[in-house]
Amino acid sequence: MRQFRWILTAAALTSTCALAATAPTPAPAQAARSASGIDLSGIDHSVKPGDDFDNYANGDWKKTAQIPADRSSTGVFLEVFQKAEQRNADLIREVGKSNAPAGSNERKIADYYAAFMDEAAIEKRGLAPLQPALKQIDAIASKADLARVLGGDLRADVDPVNATNFQTEHLFGLFVSHGLDDATHNIPYLLQGGLGMPTRDYYLSDDKAMVETRGKYQAYIAALLKQAGVADADAKAKDILALETKIAKAQVDIVDSQDVHKANNPWAREAFAKNAPGLDWEAYFKAAGLDQQKTIDVWQVPGVKGLSALTASEPLQTWKDYLTFHALNESASLLPKAYADLSFGFYGQTLSGTPKQRDRWKRAIASTNVALGDAVGELYVKKYFPASSKAQVEQMVKNILAAFDERVDGLDWMTPATRQKAKAKIASIRVSVGYPETWRNYGPLEIKADDALGNQQRAQKFEYAHQLAKLSQPVDRGEWWMTPQTVNAVNLPLQNALNFPAAILEAPFFDPKADAAANYGAIGAVIGHEISHSFDNLGAEFDAQGNLANWWTPEDQAHFKAAGQKLVAQYNAYEALPGLHVNGQQTLGENIADVSGLTIAYLAYHKSLGGKPAPVIDGLSGDQRFFLAFGQAWREKVRDAAMRQRVIGNEHAPGRFRAQTVRNLDAWYDAFQPKPGEALYLDPAQRVKIW
């Protein structure tokens, strides 16, 4: 499953588990929260809210919180994720004991996990499961052969507006959704890829840390090739890194990739040879199963042109070595331990600063969920997501949508023409809570209890076939893009829809027994955030039907963009690590959604009081509890390497800066009385108000 506009700041915390030989390790103790839903012990009263609201709300928690050895960060998202992880462990252990019939979803889940956990079988088989792919690469003798191998390797594993998932190890990535100008038909989108490190910056930056990382990456490439018995591994590693550096130079950056107007490039299939010469496109598209498509949209034109040219200009042997490395790299987690350990050494320790590899059963969680996420999700919601929680959250969503609608009515800068279109879009937003209406059919997917890597390979092809099949089907407005057991939330601008999976609807984000202030400040702000994505710098480009269409008057659009640039400047000033600042333009959409989402969640909270004053609980007013719940939802501790990776390649600002969103809301000033001269204080005219 893939993601569009996530609330999270890192890769998906999806979860599935089963059949561990030993019991899963217990989750770290959760913060003790009062009846109000606030962690009173986490507050650092020595910090003024107006100087640093994040450290005020979370400072005492940070003093004692420990990042688990197998994680690059910790915080509320990890706390909730571990609850889902434990639940899935219990669920799938039960499935494994049930003797489920062959071909059933339960048997596929159990067998997939069992194969992943069978280290002895994986060691015994060595590279044998990968030999067909390696032999195909070795047999490349022409540029037409290269095109066929590249096309056969295409995967549906990228999202065009999710910066954390722009990149794929494959030279290109496929995304399938409806056309930007026509919301009634699905089309294929081709996106740039080809890098083994997170973003092009890792190859091109002169920053000392990045230069050192490149050296370690080259050493890793060589070590992986040597482990596989490849001759001249050191020289080949140097050439592979040089090729990937050329790929990085050809790519466009994240900010350009987020510009949807630059992405609206439907090319006739026959035009690729002229528009992007170099690659044998006919051979490529035939191998990729796209040879019957009349039109293919090119999301990043300079990137696709540059990558195509490189297939012609670079030596064939270099491409073969590159493909060999990436075949090994992509499969390392399901190859013998020596390969998995090398992979973790670079991707876990070097890139994320994580000292300990996750236990094998935890790694199986992520792999099983990618392959069979809906199958596990169906079990999850039956046991852990009551209808009462679904109903309560759906009511919160209605309240927040109503607050947004009223907010639009009160915007003094918006003209009636734009206001009418905005309200129409609000009215047509499709909201899905908990789980999808229909579940994926895994019947054709073959899973074997003794073929871990083969299972993963077949699951990837199954997902790719599922995406291709959408090209001949009507657009599914109710399609879900993440599984119910995912701790996340998503806005789908092309569908004008929102998904709130069951697993995020847990304390401290959502507690059906907690005070309304805490629920609206935490999950309410998440809901408001996702609603607001429909009106951020990307979402505002789409109309109520999901078409790319300008529904703004020129004056209103100018005001909206000017307010956005004020927010860009505000976030540019935040320094995540010495000398490394947040990129306000790269994170603009998320920052707009945070400011606007918190605003409408606050309004909805007050509407929920029904005209009655909020009670004082634990010595805190309702507004204080609301803002504290928001600040505590973003508490986190992050390793420096992971923070660097996040700031460079993610569209979300780090959590501690997201907690400071409060400085733009007048109500926060009333609640905590920050004074001029304190670090977060903004004069009323400087506070950014977009929606």
pLDDT at position 34 is: 73
195 contacts 329 by C-beta, under 8 angstroms: no
- Residue at a domain's end among 301, 334, 367: 334
**Quick check: 10 pLDDT over 60?**
no
**Quick check: 203 pLDDT over 60?**
yes
**Quick check: 7 pLDDT over 80?**
no
Q: Please, which pLDDT band fits residue 23 given cuts at 50, 70 and 90?
A: very low
pLDDT at position 161 is: 56
Residue whose token pair is 């990149």: 167
Residue whose token pair is 């309410």: 524
324 plus 392 within the same structural domain: no
Q: Please, which pLDDT band fits residue 90 given cuts at 50, 70 and 90?
A: confident
230 plus 317 within the same structural domain: yes
Measured between alpha carbons, how far is 459 from 371 in angstroms, rounded to an integer? 5
595 plus 502 within the same structural domain: yes
pLDDT at position 158 is: 83
Per-residue pLDDT reduced to its tens digit, 602-635: 999 999 999 999 999 999 999 999 999 999 999 9
Q: Please, which pLDDT band fits residue 165 given cuts at 50, 70 and 90?
A: low
Per-residue pLDDT reduced to its tens digit, 291-330: 999 999 999 999 999 999 999 999 999 999 999 999 999 9
Query: Coil, strand or helix: which one is 500?
Result: strand
* SS3 annotation, 336-379: CHHHHHHHHHHHHHHHHCCCCCCCHHHHHHHHHHHHHHHHHHHH
Measured between alpha carbons, how far is 632 from 427 in angstroms, rounded to an integer? 31
Is 563 inside a domain boundary? Answer: yes
pLDDT at position 11 is: 29
pLDDT at position 9 is: 34
Per-residue pLDDT reduced to its tens digit, 400-431: 999 999 999 999 889 999 999 999 999 999 99
Measured between alpha carbons, how far is 598 from 594 in angstroms, rounded to an integer? 6
pLDDT at position 222 is: 98
Helix (H) / strand (E) containing 131: helix 131-138
pLDDT at position 6 is: 40
Q: What is the mean pLDDT of residues 117-130?
A: 97
Domain extent, residue 423, equals 29-65+385-437+478-686
Q: What is the mean pLDDT of residues 115-140?
A: 97
Strands 295-298 and 186-192: parallel
Which tokens hold the place of 425? 């879009």
**Quick check: 361 pLDDT over 60?**
yes
496 φψ region: left (φ > 0), alpha (ψ -120 to 50), beta (else)? left
Helix (H) / strand (E) containing 312: helix 301-313
- Residue at a domain's end among 317, 334, 351: 334
Q: What is the mean pLDDT of residues 215-232?
A: 98
Is 149 inside a domain boundary? Answer: yes
pLDDT at position 190 is: 97
Nearest to 343 by CA among 365, 326, 366, 359: 326
645 plus 503 within the same structural domain: yes
Which CATH number goes with the domain that contains 488?
3.40.390.10
178 plus 325 within the same structural domain: yes
648 contacts 22 by C-beta, under 8 angstroms: no
For the chain, the average pLDDT equals: 92
Is 629 inside a domain boundary? Answer: yes
Is 464 inside a domain boundary? Answer: no
pLDDT at position 492 is: 87
State the total domains in the chain: 2
254 plus 156 within the same structural domain: yes
Q: Please, which pLDDT band fits residue 461 given cuts at 50, 70 and 90?
A: very high
Residue 551 phi, psi (nearest 5): -110, 15
